[in-house]
Amino acid sequence: MLSHIVVVGASAAGLTAAEALRREGYAGELTIVGEEARSPYDRPPLSKQILRGAWDEERIVLRSDDLLADLDATWILGTAAVALDPSARKLTLADGQILGYDGLVIATGATPRRLPFGHDLAGVHVLRTLDDTLALRDGLRGARSVAIVGAGFLGAEVAAVARELGVAVTMIDPLPAPMIRQFGTEMGELLTQLHASHGVDVRCGTTVNALTPGTGSDLLGSAGSDGAERGSAGRVAGVELSDGSRVAADLVLVAVGASPATGWLAGSGLVIGDGVECDQYCVSAPGVVAAGDVASWDHPGVGRQRLEHRMNATEQATTAAKNLLGQAIPFEPVSYFWTDQYDVKIQVYGRSGDDFDFRIVAGDPAEGRFAALYGDGDRVTGALAWNFPRQARTLRQHVADQTPWAAVSA
């Protein structure tokens, strides 16, 4: 019988795990530790409705104060966990507190990767938290141009919002087209067209060599939201690309992916690879489970996986919580991910990308609505819908059933 469970990370996965523990009848002490001082909030709207200014902050709060109180948990917010000793079952917090536990949920998510240069300049942003979004939104309001480094889903979504706000956008990526890693070459070409048709200068196949500061000669001289004058030496004024070109920019967003937030687990003895390594039950060590963006687990049908998907945070946290309480449920979801860019919603189930075959099975890109399947030559591995939610749900079944590829590619 567990008597004190600690959840580290107070966001989508951490909150869901805490709720699942209570739902499953866990009545012991529950402590939730979170580095951010805010109550749990949802991240997907950060690069969409919040950045655009269409929603206010209250809309992304994940639970009301009443529902949070119903959890009967002790919340330690604004304090990071800094060390773990799983054999002694002790967790150390940044303020020096040491918490004993007999069950632990690791749900610390991921942190944005940075470039090895340029982040000391005003006007250079990353995007992970609400505070990041509010700073970027303020910056975009006063900006004429933004350079977005990285054309993954985050970069592409911000490019779309920036264009809607009337800001000139250059989007830069070393790969040949946006989101190729996630969706493959054919989709990358369609996304290039989508962004170009909205006026984005898509610079793919090139990297950023430097972020360049201003020289103090910008006659407009207006200040950014951080107070630094446009064109000033302490503020970014552009980027230098590996193809030799330069792009002027009042603002730079670095969106080059995220790393699992495992730094605090150094020396813990837990196996850390690309995330906290877990077995198929989301168990990392006796009494320790992990869920969400930080967790790498052994998917029974697919092999080792780490997903940065909102739905995965919920599903994995629910399974991990049940298993912490003694159940043994393998975690084998059909993963789901979506992205919104301009008036396009792309939904993806399962595994997709350049390693897989790709075949459009319904609709037509020229009509702005289609659905496609991905396969490994043998079986269907993934399904994608572009403004076609009904087809997304239908095709999901092929992914779940692992329909033979030959049956859908004839």
Which chain residues interact with ligand FAD by CB under 6 A?
8-14, 33-36, 43-44, 46-47, 80-81, 107-110, 127-128, 154, 261, 264, 292-294, 308-311, 313, 337-339
Residue 26 DSSP SS3:
coil
Neighbours of 342 (CB within 10 A): 16
Cβ at position 112, least distance to ligand FAD in Å: 8
Task: Output 64 or 97, the one with its CB closest to ligand FAD.
Answer: 97
Positive or negative, the CA dihedral 173, 337, 112, 332 is: negative
Query: How near is the Cβ of 290 to ligand FAD at its closest, in Å?
Result: 9
Joined together, the tokens standing for residue 250 give: 């009042």
Q: Determine contact, residues 116/149, Cβ cutoff 8 Å.
A: no
In 9-78, DSSP assigns E strands to: 29-34, 74-77
Q: Which residues, other chains included, contact 126 with Cβ-Cβ below 8 Å and sequence gap of 6+?
A: 112, 114, 119, 132, 253, 254, 255
Contact between 346 and 356 (Cβ < 8 Å): no
Closer residue to ligand FAD in complex, CB, 108/296: 108
Shortest Å distance, C-beta 57 to ligand FAD: 14
Q: What is the residue-wise DSSP string for 191-255?
A: HHHHHHHTT-EEEES--EEEEEE--S--SS-PBPTTSPBTT-TTBEEEEEETTS-EEE-SEEEE-
Decide: helix, strand or coil at residue 32.
strand
> In angstroms, rounded to a whole number, what is the distance separating the alpha carbons of residues 370 and 36?
40
| Identity of the residue, 35 or 277, whose beta carbon is nearer to ligand FAD in the bound complex | 35
- Nearest distance from C-beta of residue 1 to ligand FAD, angstroms: 26
User: Whose Cβ is closer to ligand FAD: residue 163's or residue 306's?
Assistant: 306
Least distance between ligand FAD and beta carbon 220 (Å) = 30
Cβ proximity to ligand FAD: between 249 and 253 the closer is 253
User: Least distance in Å: CB of 391 to ligand FAD?
Assistant: 18
Least distance CB 369 / ligand FAD (angstroms):
19
**Could you give the CA distance from residue 150 to residue 157 in angstroms, rounded to a whole number?**
11
- CA 63, CA 42: separation in Å to the nearest integer? 10
Residue 390 corresponds to which tokens in the numbers above?
């009904």
Between 182 and 212, whose beta carbon lies closer to ligand FAD? 182
Q: Which is nearer to ligand FAD, 11 or 170 (CB)?
A: 11
Q: Which is nearer to ligand FAD, 86 or 292 (CB)?
A: 292
Q: How far is the CB of 133 from ligand FAD (least distance, A)?
A: 7
Q: Which helix (H) or strand (E) holds 375?
A: strand 369-375
Q: Which is nearer to ligand FAD, 43 or 235 (CB)?
A: 43
Write down the least CB distance from residue 138 to ligand FAD, Å.
16
Strands 251-254 and 145-149: parallel
Reduced to 3 states, what is the DSSP secondary structure of residue 126? coil
Q: How far is the CB of 348 from ligand FAD (least distance, A)?
A: 9
> Are 117 and 210 a contacting pair, CB within 8 Å?
yes
Q: Which amino acid is at 91?
A: L
Judged by CB, which is closer to ligand FAD: 60, or 239? 60
Report d(CA 140, CA 122) in Å as an integer.
13
Q: What angle do CA 230, 169, 183 make, to 5 degrees?
A: 140
Least distance (Å) between residue 218 CB and ligand FAD: 30
Q: Which of residues 40 and 214 has its CB atom nearest to ligand FAD in the complex? A: 40
Residue from 62, 59, 17, 56 nearest 36 by CA: 62
Q: Phi and psi for 383 in degrees, rounded to 5?
A: -140, 145
